[in-house]
Amino acid sequence: MPDKKYTTFKEFYPFYLSQHKNKTCRLLHIIGTTIIVFIVTYALISQRYLLLWLMPIVGYGFAWVGHFFFEKNRPATFTYPLYSLIGDWVMWWQTITFTLKK
C-alpha cells in the first residue's frame, strides 16, 4: 500500500493502474466488471432485483483472485474503497474503448 495519502481520484488513478500491471489481473477485473454490467441489465429488465446481490461477489471475486494469485499485491480497495471502485470502472471503460495507456 502507498505511503502517500490520496485526496483526489486524479492523483490516485496512476497508483491504481500501477497495482494492475499484470495482464491476467487486469483481464480478471475486466471480466468481472463486464459480468456486473450484464447482471445489472438483466436484473433491471427482468425485474429480478435480488440478482443485484451478486454484484459484489462477482466484482470482488474476480478482482481479488487477480490480485492475490497473479498481481500478488493487496487490493487498493482495502485502503481506498471509493477511489478503487471508480478506478475499476474507469479502467474498464478505457479498456473497452481502447484508450487505456499502458
Tens digits of per-residue pLDDT, 88-98?
999 999 999 99
Taking the CA atoms of 59, 61, 64 and 66 in sequence, report the sign of the dihedral they define: negative
To the nearest 10°, the Cα dihedral for 7, 102, 87, 81?
-70
Give the integer Cα–Cα distance in Å for 49 and 64.
Answer: 25
Give the integer Cα–Cα distance in Å for 45 and 9.
Answer: 32
Q: Confidence band (pLDDT; 50, 70, 90) for 4?
A: confident
Query: What does the pLDDT look like over 10-55, one tens digit per residue?
Result: 999 999 999 999 999 999 999 999 999 999 999 999 999 999 999 9
Task: Output the pLDDT for position 102.
Answer: 67
Task: Output the pLDDT for position 81.
Answer: 94
Residue 22 burial (10 A CB sphere; 0-12, 13-18, 19+):
middle
Is pLDDT at 3 greater than 70 in this prediction? no
